[in-house]
């Protein structure tokens, strides 16, 4: 009987850090119940526009000076989701809720798109498709950012066999985007998600995970990689990161680590970076 008690105590000791963190998360969820939060939105009206024109839009960059927004969309995200590791959500088929046995990586042939929405002077007109001239690689866009002074447009792309950041010169009046370069680094830029420019030649990119999965898991090695990515995701390991990209040299440098690093932005002073992440430890502003 004593040995059973010893085993139980050993198991509880091993699980105590996880149980403590889990308790913190549950407490935070209770404290931050939506009904308890103050309402700060002062919008007098709202509407959903162009739902039949765009699908699965991931990100938007608003140029308030010029009065337009750049929107990143990927209609094929339902069948090619490299960010949310694990089984995809069920879908409705003829009114019945069914599971999708194929997994997240069913079909990578779909092609995402960028749109330009002139909200200042043509708010009722659907966003215009931005042709990507000189670019013919697989395109599954996520985060998008724009440096107005240099007309540099950068997009996180989860297409093909690995992720990359695609760089274009944007001509908003046309509109069109002229391809300039593609930057990839499986070790330091494994899963680029959100992007923000530091200046005309440098930008930050958040990486949601370190273990990337960009192929349908048809082999034992590929299935093992998906399982490792699932563990990284579910355990909240601090293996996500933020990387600094030098467009002139294509050099990529990791500057910090954080679990499931998602949104990233710079505050007005340009000296403070804010990173949104899903983590079991307290969040921090950098």
> What pLDDT was estimated at residue 243?
96
CB atoms within 10 A of CB 47: 4
- Strand pairing partners for 97? 92
Measure the CA–CA gap between 61 and 170, rounded to whole angstroms: 13
Q: Tokens representing 282?
A: 């307290």
Q: Tokens representing 279?
A: 């983590």
Torsion from C-alpha of 250, 83, 242, 210, nearest 10 degrees: -80
Q: Decide: residue 274, CB within 10 A, 0-12 exposed, 13-18 middle, 19+ buried.
A: middle
Measure the CA–CA gap between 33 and 12, rounded to whole angstroms: 29
- Where b means 16+ CB within 10 Å and e means fewer, 226-265 reads beebeebbeebbbbbbbbbbebeeeebeeebebbbbbebe
Domain 54-277: top CATH class: mainly beta
The pLDDT profile of the chain, 286 residues, written as one tens digit per residue, is 566 777 777 777 777 777 777 777 788 778 878 788 777 777 788 888 898 888 889 999 999 999 999 999 988 777 777 776 554 444 434 444 344 444 455 456 668 999 999 999 988 999 999 999 999 998 999 999 999 999 999 999 988 778 999 999 999 999 999 999 999 999 999 999 999 999 999 999 999 888 777 666 667 776 777 777 777 777 777 888 999 999 999 999 999 988 888 899 998 777 899 998 876 554 544 4
Model pTM score: 0.79
> What pLDDT was estimated at residue 218?
67
Measure the CA–CA gap between 83 and 166, rounded to whole angstroms: 18
Asked if residue 70 lies in contact with residue 148, where contact means CB atoms within 8 angstroms, the answer is: no
Domain residue spans in the chain?
Answer: 54-277
> What pLDDT was estimated at residue 211?
78
**Rounded to the nearest 5 degrees, what angle is found at the Cα of 9, between the Cα atoms of 4 and 15?**
125
DSSP-assigned letters across all residues of 51-69:
TTT--SEEEEEEETTTTEE
Measure the CA–CA gap between 124 and 121, rounded to whole angstroms: 9
> What pLDDT was estimated at residue 113?
94
> What pLDDT was estimated at residue 102?
43
Is the peptide bond prior to 66 cis by the omega test (within 30 degrees of 0)? Answer: no
| Phi, psi at 25, each rounded to 5° | -65, -45
> What pLDDT was estimated at residue 45?
80
């Amino acid at each position: 009987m004593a040995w059973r008690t010893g085993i139980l105590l050993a198991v509880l000791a091993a699980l105590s850090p996880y149980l403590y963190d889990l308790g913190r998360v549950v407490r935070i969820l209770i404290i931050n119940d939506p009904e308890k939060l103050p309402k700060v939105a002062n919008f007098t009206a709202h509407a959903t526009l162009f739902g039949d024109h765009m699908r699965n839009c991931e990100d938007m960059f608003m140029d308030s000076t010029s009065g337009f927004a750049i929107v990143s969309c990927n209609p094929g995200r339902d069948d090619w989701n490299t960010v949310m590791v694990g089984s995809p959500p069920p879908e409705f088929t003829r009114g019945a809720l069914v599971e999708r046995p194929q997994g997240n990586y069913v079909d990578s042939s779909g092609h995402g798109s960028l749109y330009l929405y002139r909200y200042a002077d043509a708010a009722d007109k659907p966003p215009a498709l931005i042709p990507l001239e000189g670019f013919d690689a697989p395109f599954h866009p996520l985060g998008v950012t724009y440096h107005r002074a240099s007309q540099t447009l950068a997009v996180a792309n989860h297409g093909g066999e690995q992720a990359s950041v695609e760089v274009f010169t944007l001509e908003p009046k046309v509109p069109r985007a002229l391809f300039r370069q593609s930057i990839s680094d499986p070790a330091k830029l494994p899963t680029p998600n959100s992007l923000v420019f530091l200046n005309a030649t440098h930008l930050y990119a958040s990486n949601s995970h370190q273990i990337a999965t960009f192929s349908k898991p048809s082999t034992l090695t590929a299935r093992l990689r998906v399982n490792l990515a699932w563990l990284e995701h579910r355990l909240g390991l601090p293996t996500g990161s933020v990387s600094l990209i030098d467009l002139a040299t294509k050099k990529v440098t990791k500057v910090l680590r954080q679990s499931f690093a998602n949104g990233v932005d710079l505050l007005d002073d340009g000296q403070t970076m804010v990173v949104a992440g899903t983590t079991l430890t307290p969040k921090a502003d950098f």
